[in-house]
Amino acid sequence: MKKTQTVAFANLIGSILFIILGIWAWIQTGKFEEVSNTYVQASSFPRIMIVGMLIFSIVLFVQSLLKLLSMKEGDKDALAAKAASINFVKDKSVLAGVVIILLCIGFVALFEILGYVICAALISVVIMYIIGKRNWLQMILVSVLVPLGMWLIFFKVLTVNIPMGPLQFLCDLVGKI
Amino acid sequence: MDFGLLFESYAAVWLNPQVILMTLLGACGGVLLGAIPGMTATMGVALLIPFSFGMDLIPSIGLLLGIYCGGMYGGSISAILIHAPGTPAAAATLMDGYPMCQKGQAGKALSVAMFSSFCGGVIGALVMTFLSPVVANMAMNFGPGEMFMLAIFGLSVIIAISGKSIAKGLISAFFGMLLCTVGLDPTNGIPRFITYKQTGLLDGFQFIPTLIGLFAVAEVIAGVERIVSGEEKQEKSNEKIKKVLPDLGTIKKIWPNILSGGLIGTFIGAIPGAGGDIAVFVSYGASKSASKHPELYGTGIPNGVAATESANNGCSGGAMIPLLSLGVPGDSVTAILLGAFIMKGITPGPMMYISELPTVYRVFAALMMANLAMLIVGCCGVRFFAKIVSVEKKLLYPIILIVSLLGAFSINKNVFDIGVCVAFGVIGWLMNKYEFPLSPILLALILGPMCEKNYVRFMNIQQGNFFAIFRSPIAVVFMAIAVAVIIYSIFNQRKINKRTAEAAE
């Protein structure tokens, strides 16, 4: 196994990302407006947190780097183990995870246009298909009835109005009952 | 303690049909969720919290406490039947529960687990009723400096819940604390990391969408990944259960384990950050050490099941002590409960015992009822719940996702919140994948605002002299406990890592 596939290497990358985030956040705090007659500025508390995050990111960076430098073939400790992959080109399971994220983004984008029930039905049918469900009757029943039931609970019991898109007529229909 | 008001509050809660119904529904949902491996009580409470918005405080707290108590017991069902604990707090139950199942005593194991869970829960609720007012009374003397140090003490337990790497746990915690600072500065109203045009973030990241994203959406993405890679297998149980309650002879044998487990669970649960997963192992160890036949532990004896199950349910009462008396959550579920209280306009803490005493007593009554509801639901449904472990995950994950996304929307009826939920789902998925623990973020999101608010107040009162904090004995005590917790946790984690490495070799 290559060193770049180990937990130690993943930790190294993770620590670098948090260091970058910390530096970016520190630069941002410099842009916060300052107020007179106060002992604590708006930037004070975030800066303490950034320093804490940077210190422990550097600790993780050094730990991981030292481990990578001293790592030998056959090491059995946790840092030498194989790290999880996020290569969605090579790994089908990661690709499935990425597709779920894209579906969620699509859900957010279409939520107000198509409404909750249609968006939720579509997203759940696609997810079931991706994870290998092939019983179409069960898939359609669950995908349609669960969002409808959820909407009904929120609409009638909790009096929360949820966008329904083209199915808006259901609100009037249920309202009349 | 005002016993008249306490009985009045108990009567108001126990005779309210809405509270009874919601608590029973919560217990039912909790047992169902807890029984499914991978679904925790935290996730159940996070998922169902949006359903409680339209309700009054006590029915909604009854619903959430029902899930909490039910989830704690539910975890033992799959631990006993299929050797897969439904929740981390049931991890120790399988040591004796599963061997009992293999010996053909699955029904007995489940009934002992249910009875012990109920007794442990009642012990926790009783201790909470009588101890939390004492703690709250002490906390009445707290000023901003003490409250700041209390928050630091709460945060110090992050190390204990950091898992294998303390550095990673602390990075998560500081990252969570940094997330709390996004939005308008609470003192001067200055925008931080945003502009006034980004109205969706002026109040910072909303707690519930963030929580649902980190715990539910991230779990769905990870679950889908596991199914596609073939790591997640469908569990099945064909066990037939004849008895729902243990017989008198068994109760006589296990009552010392129940009593000690309930008390251990309550006291460990009361330590912020230390939850049921720690309590069960401590209780199991204590029960084994005190036994005349320690060699029988692990071979399938009801005493082992009783010790662990009473401990994890005892935690529910214990974790409520710091929540109600200090405003500091005892574990991740009580952290969500704290969010539920705040959303209803009630801030838990010592002042609650003065301004909202009837509410406090009603919460006590609701917890007691949640334990009873768990017992009723358990007795009625234990045969059915045993089948829950066979629920098809391919149907379950999409349902969890669409319920989660709707839950995120329903708080402010804002699509932006669904976006926040999805974004935190991705962050949670990636952090879980690379073993950055999520619990410290949760604790930081809760304690961060309390920490900052009191820090700013203290610094302004003391004219910028931070070292004035050493003049307060209470603050110094909290500081000393925080340092002790940190040192103990570091040494403990090293010991755990060493043992894990030795076991691997």
Of B190, B433, B452, Cβ closest to residue A35: B190
pLDDT, tens digit, 9 for 90 and up, residues B434-465: 888 887 787 788 778 888 888 898 998 888 88
Of B232, B224, B436, the C-alpha closest to A102 is B224
Question: Cβ contact (<8 Å) for A56 and B170?
Answer: yes
B195 touches chain A (CB under 8 A): no
Listing DSSP states for B158-178 in one string gives: TGGGSTT-HHHHHHHHHHHHH
> What is the C-alpha separation between B172 and B185, in angstroms, rounded?
22
Q: Dig out the tokens for B239 from the structure.
A: 């066990």
Arithmetic mean of pLDDT, B153-158: 72
pLDDT at B233: 66
Question: Cβ contact (<8 Å) for B395 and A123?
Answer: no
For the question of an ipTM over 0.90, the answer is yes
Spans of all domains in chain A = 3-80, 92-176
pLDDT at A29: 94
Statement: residue A92 has pLDDT above 80? yes
pLDDT at B386: 62
Statement: residue A42 has pLDDT above 70? yes
Residue B356, CB-side half-sphere exposure with 13 Å CA sphere? 20
Statement: residue B501 has pLDDT above 70? no
pLDDT at B298: 79
Statement: residue A103 has pLDDT above 90? yes
Q: Which of chain B's residues have a Cβ under 8 Å away from the Cβ of A63? A: 167
Question: Which segments of B162-295 does DSSP mark as H helices, in order?
Answer: 166-180, 207-212, 218-229, 248-269, 276-290
Nearest CA in chain A to B451: A45
pLDDT at B285: 77
pLDDT at B87: 65
pLDDT at A13: 93
Q: Which of chain A's residues have a Cβ under 8 Å away from the Cβ of B395? A: 128, 133, 138, 142
Phi, psi of B183 (to 5 degrees): 115, -160
Pick the residue with more confidence: A118 or A2?
A: A118
- Per-residue b or e along B262-287, where b marks 16 or more CB atoms closer than 10 Å to that residue's CB: bbbbbbbbbbbbbbbbbbbbbbbebb
Arithmetic mean of pLDDT, B389-401: 80
pLDDT, tens digit, 9 for 90 and up, residues B286-343: 787 778 877 788 788 889 889 888 988 888 888 888 888 888 776 677 777 887 787 7
How far does A105 lie from chain B, in Å, by closest CA? 7
**Exposed, middle or buried: residue B434 (CB in 10 Å: 0-12, 13-18, 19+)?**
middle
Phi, psi of B391 (to 5 degrees): -60, 135
pLDDT confidence bin for B277, thresholds 50/70/90: low
pLDDT at B337: 80
pLDDT at B362: 87
pLDDT at A156: 79
pLDDT, tens digit, 9 for 90 and up, residues B222-262: 989 988 888 776 666 565 666 677 888 888 888 999 999 89
pLDDT at B84: 61
pLDDT at B237: 57
Mean pLDDT of chain B: 81
> What is the C-alpha separation between B33 and B42, in angstroms, rounded?
10
B187 touches chain A (CB under 8 A): yes
